[in-house]
Structure 1
């Protein structure tokens, strides 16, 4: 029996769907866990370390090439899934991932300009924007919007992809945070795609979750095994999460998301809750920078995780706190999704974002008091 034969793999997949999902998760986990020590060895042999700068959350030079293991594992998983022939969009995803991996790797090695990274993101987004299955042609009644003109469809899809790539990249500032939030998002998407009978996207979600779970072991290490995902990792993880997000938004309205009563018009609200931490953090820092008269792309220590660190939380506690908040927001929306209309759900989501803004405003004031006491 040839295990790489299309018919053999497809037969195994149909007969043992859940077992296949578990095996993909464990396979992605094991391969990443195997590859990261190899990446660490090469990084140290060649002295490829992330320097400590003024706004760094780490105090020692550490390799930042976790994305190399991510990329190899994702390509291996996608190659296997392509043999199932469940979906042809995987070939477009491979192209997009490869472009962003090269852009991120260059930045990890020699620092890329913002322009180079932006054009790389546009090139990667084009692979998905022009993929037939990724056309966001309707919002199914959200804010009264149904059909979207085809030109606007391309721009909206591209904007969402690039925005989500950068939003995820921005939360990769302390140990474990990006991985924990990514695991929460992958778990939510796995559940959604399983309920809505989209097995290919379930497998993509669980494979990324497996990669991030394996990475956590090394990212939380305090010794010689510590590694960061780097831009080569955060950019491709952000891309895959954007890919899954667009798929959720473009699914046909006849497929249920959460029970039979879940309205397709609620999908953008659901996405805003699943991606709560990266979206909130990005909106918050951009707003603060604009209010100060700074460029929205300038670097500072205004991120949510920086505030939690200034309050005295460890990296691990800050990461788990923010990931738990993301779970809480998803759970609240899940509970009320079949009880409230689209209008009231919109108010609920806005209220949750508003409460988060207020909470971190108070946290920031508290952190300044703590800082003054320490200095005094």
Structure 2
């Protein structure tokens, strides 16, 4: 356990040092993220903070990691570096969606086909169903690319992506340690520390954004980590006290906010006759900000929701199978728009009755203007 703590502290320290240095380079190079479009910040903010996260993670893992994992981590790191390069290039000079998809496919193909990190069966949904190799490859590539881009889409307010990534990697890190997968656990803790170091500069009033350099590489790492989690859990002996009976549902629960938010905005866009990839401000975190919450409050609320949801799924997984849990998860999506409507209604009522001065009303109207959210 000591080596895991050392890996977390090392990556945290490196990230705390690296992120402001990256920020200085970005400012000097004038590679600043401009406001406008679906972006809700109002000033010129440095992006590419993901480079600092990557440095903290890699240097810590290289220092404390040992090659004792059954996985070939060379292919994983190749994919991570390729995703980081693509995200950095996109932050500096935007890539076309086509070129981004090609690079994502290449990185994922390397990990899935050469690294053999893939969805090999239907697991606890249908335990005796082994997927044909080509279907396994295709499904794995589709899932990884989808989850990677889903995570990229939630990087819309300060502190959200970093806190969600910290929560997932810390949770998986503990579980991997309990099942004696020390190398993978160390990778998780190294990533947790690196994300926490970045959050120091991104929480509240952000000094730097992670940019696509961070959100794409983190989404790629998290999606692969969840597949590894499901594979290892499925292979565990039934007598193992840390075996999860519904690993697919727990993986979705850990990734619940990117999953729900992406599914929601894609549905709204398609029903509106638009491309599901067209940018807008319909994301749940955007709505929470428009109803008066600060970035820190909105990120904290979403993080608490993710934690509570994960605990609930973990608590009932011992006596409810994956099929029933997935039905419960999909059914719970109904309460998201209900909550948002109640939140908007409360804000409108509070705004109308609050004894603001004329100047405060003007300012709050500019900041918290309620838009149609579908």
The equivalent of 1:347 in structure 2 is: 327
Any conservation in 1 of the 2:75–2:115 contact (CA below 8 Å)?
no
SS of corresponding position for 1:146: strand
Deviation for aligned residue 1:24: 0.3
| Alignment-derived partner of residue 168 in structure 1 | 151
How far does the alpha carbon of each residue in 1:288-320 deviate from its partner, in whole angstroms, 9 at most, with x for none? 000101000000000010010111000000000
- Secondary structure of the residue aligned to 1:112 is coil
Structure-2 residue corresponding to 1:237: 218
- The partner residue of 2:57 within 69, 74, 85 is 74
Q: Say if 2:47 is the partner of 1:47.
A: no
Cα deviation code 1:40-99 (max 9, x no counterpart) = 111111212101113222111010010221222333234346654434522111110111
Which SS does the other structure have where 2:279 is aligned? coil
Match of 1:313 in 2: 293
2: CA distance, partners of 1:257 / 1:316: 42
The Cα shift of 1:205 comes to: 1.0
The answer to whether 1:218 aligns with 2:201 is yes
Secondary structure of 2:124's counterpart equals strand
Aligned to 2:356: none
Equivalent residues of 1:273, 1:326 under 8 A apart: yes
1:134 partner SS: coil
Residues 253-268 of structure 1: pairs in structure 2 closer than 5 A: 253-255=234-236, 260=241, 262=243, 264=245, 266-268=246-248
Structure 1-normalised TM-score? 0.87
2:47, 2:128 → 1: CA distance?
A: 43
Name the residue aligned to 1:275.
Answer: 255
Query: Paired residue for 2:276?
Result: 296
Distance 1:228 1:353 in 2: 29
- Cα drift, residue 267 of structure 1: 1.4
What residue in structure 2 maps to residue 6 of structure 1?
A: none
Count of residues in correspondence between the two structures = 356
Give the distance between the partners of 1:84 and 1:143, measured in 2 at CA.
33
Q: Which residue of 1 aligns with 2:2?
A: 19
Alpha-carbon distance in structure 2 between the residues aligned to 1:364 and 1:325: 18
Contact 1:337–1:345 (CA under 8 A) maintained in structure 2: yes
332-341 or 83-92, larger mean C-alpha shift: 83-92
Partner of residue 95, structure 2: 112
Give unmatched runs, 5+ long, in structure 2: 354-364
Match of 2:162?
Answer: 179
Aligned residue number for residue 326 of structure 1: 306
The answer as to whether partners of 2:65 and 2:186 remain within 8 angstroms in 1 is: no
Q: Distance in 1 between matches of 2:4 and 2:321?
A: 34
1:338 to 318, 323, 326: 318
Q: Is the aligned partner of 1:360 residue 2:340?
A: yes
Q: 1:263 to 1:172 in 2, by over 3 A?
A: closer
CA distance change for structure 1 residues 361 and 232 in 2, over 3 Å: closer, same or farther? same
The 5 Å alignment of 1:185-200 reads 185-200=168-183
User: 5+ unaligned residues in a row in structure 1: which ranges?
Assistant: 1-17
Moved more, 61-70 or 20-29: 61-70
- The secondary structure found in structure 2 opposite 1:130 is helix
Give the TM-score of the pair, scaled to structure 2: 0.87
- Deviation of 1:252 (Å): 5.7
- Matches of 2:112 and 2:64, distance apart in 1: 21
Determine the C-alpha separation between the residues in 1 that align with 2:128 and 2:44. Answer: 50
Question: Mean alpha-carbon deviation: is it higher for 364-373 or for 100-109?
Answer: 364-373
Cα separation, 2, equivalents of 1:221 and 1:258: 45
